[in-house]
Structure 1
């Protein structure tokens, strides 16, 4: 019995997305909310001296929960990286 060998071919395509005006506005809004809430979490962590225990439920905004979770991870990493710095 000879095992049949199969070859797989993978092709990479570059795709450039061109959002509509409405999609661009929504992406801009989401980006600003993401940055605002990440800054709020880091600011709270700096004032408390430790990063707060938060979940996506604690962040009250209209961004998707997956993005909220990424926001929390991002804020934690920035606090760990710059937490002892003096902010002016």
Structure 2
């Protein structure tokens, strides 16, 4: 298994619907380290670090998000490995 890091953005109605909190719960459940934060343009930024299969599952989850969210686009790109312990909301 290989460990990867992805960073990117989730666009749509993703603020004010519990998206960050749900992302923390889902990432923790999948054993992913990283962070999630709101951006001023209304999107959410994520950093995901973990095993490829877990990142694939997280990417699929981000396409829909929690109830109340309306995800329009998810943009994730590979990046340098980040030594992050746990998953937090910034």
Query: TM-score, normalising length from structure 2?
Result: 0.29
Name whichever structure is richer in strand by fraction. Answer: 2
Q: Bigger radius of gyration, 1 or 2?
A: 1
Name whichever structure is richer in helix by fraction. Answer: 1
Query: TM-score, normalising length from structure 1?
Result: 0.29
Higher RCO (C-alpha 8 Å, min separation 6): 2
